[in-house]
Amino acid sequence: MAGEIRNKFIEVKQRVAEAARRSNRDSSAVKLVVVTKGQSAEKISNVIEAGAKFLGENYPEETRRKITEMGDLSQTVDWYMIGHLQGRKIKFIVDHFSMIHSIDGVEIARELNSKLQTAGKQLPALLEVNVSGEESKHGFSVWNEADWPSFSDQWLQLQSETKSLHYVGLMTMPPYAEVDENSRQYFLKCRKLLEFLQARSGQKSFDQISMGTSLDYEVAIEEGATFVRVGEAIMGERIYL
């Protein structure tokens, strides 16, 4: 199992680098986040030993359990929260995660900010945006470009209220597509939204985009992703314990 995970990790890393080169980008500008939700501590240890530096999780309590099981090895990587966050799980984010990719509403941002203030911590954060209009998706609804100016105003107001969150960019999840090229329009739209927010706010450091999964991460890189979230292509099928 360890050898298989290592080989898949190396293959995906190579494909990430090749996609970056096709886009005239430095491969170091793209972080490979290995999605480890539903995976055992043993398999996660295998991928860390293969070279993984960034791990993505959806369920904070599950993450806490695995960190405990893994001991010191768990401290050699950055754990990212990439899924929808429920208010009652916020305490786990403050204690165990080094970044959140999924600020999908005003209230959760305020609640998380309050807990961070109490703990005397700051946390890098991405705003999750719904650029497709798909009702099942979490995130700020920005599929209609006419809404972008009001979203920009909303974000700037939120930023002034939640100073323990350091907003550095956007995250999106396009509709499911078996053909990776079908995701391109949504990745392009997310990049254009990022550029719009940069220009309107004057914040050039707001420059990160988390998009692309096992199905379409190469297309996402071609459209500007700085984080890609790859799970089953490296880790294999999830088994929730």
The full set of domain ranges for the chain reads 2-235
Phi-psi region of 234 (alpha: psi -120 to 50; beta: other; left: phi over 0): alpha
Instruction: Look at residue 2 in the predicted model and tell me its pLDDT.
Output: 87
C-alpha 191/C-alpha 198 separation (Å) is 11
Report whether pLDDT(230) > 70.
yes
Instruction: Look at residue 84 in the predicted model and tell me its pLDDT.
Output: 94
Q: What are the phi and psi torsion angles at 39 (to 5°)?
A: -110, 150
**How far from 21 is each of 12, 29, 132, 220, 222, CA to CA, in Å?**
14, 11, 28, 13, 9
Reported as a single tens digit per residue, the pLDDT across 127-165 is: 999 999 998 899 999 999 999 999 999 999 999 999 999
CATH fold for domain 2-235: TIM Barrel (3.20.20)
- Picking from 84, 72, 89, 66, the residue whose alpha carbon sits closest to that of residue 235 is 66
Instruction: Look at residue 135 in the predicted model and tell me its pLDDT.
Output: 87
pTM above 0.85, yes or no: yes
What's the average model confidence in pLDDT over 14-24? 97
Query: Would you place residue 239 in the very low, low, confident or very high pLDDT band (cuts 50, 70, 90)?
Result: confident
Instruction: Look at residue 240 in the predicted model and tell me its pLDDT.
Output: 59
Percent of the chain with pLDDT over 70: 99
